[in-house]
Amino acid sequence: MAHAAAHLKKARELELHSEYKALQKAREKRIRQREKAERKRQSDSNTSFLRAARAGNTDKVLEFLKNGVDIGTCNQSL
CA 71 to chain centre: 23
Q: What is the pLDDT of residue 43?
A: 67
C-alpha to C-alpha distance for 77 and 62, rounded to whole angstroms: 24
pLDDT tens for the 78 residues of the chain, in order:
677 777 777 778 777 777 888 888 999 999 999 888 877 766 677 888 889 999 999 999 999 899 888 888 777 654
Let me know: does 51 contact 27? Beta carbons within 8 Å. Answer: no
C-alpha to C-alpha distance for 43 and 37, rounded to whole angstroms: 10
Amino acid at the residue 55: A
Q: What is the pLDDT of residue 78?
A: 47
- Single pTM value for the model: 0.45
C-alpha to C-alpha distance for 32 and 29, rounded to whole angstroms: 5
Q: Map out the domains of the chain as residue ranges.
A: 2-66
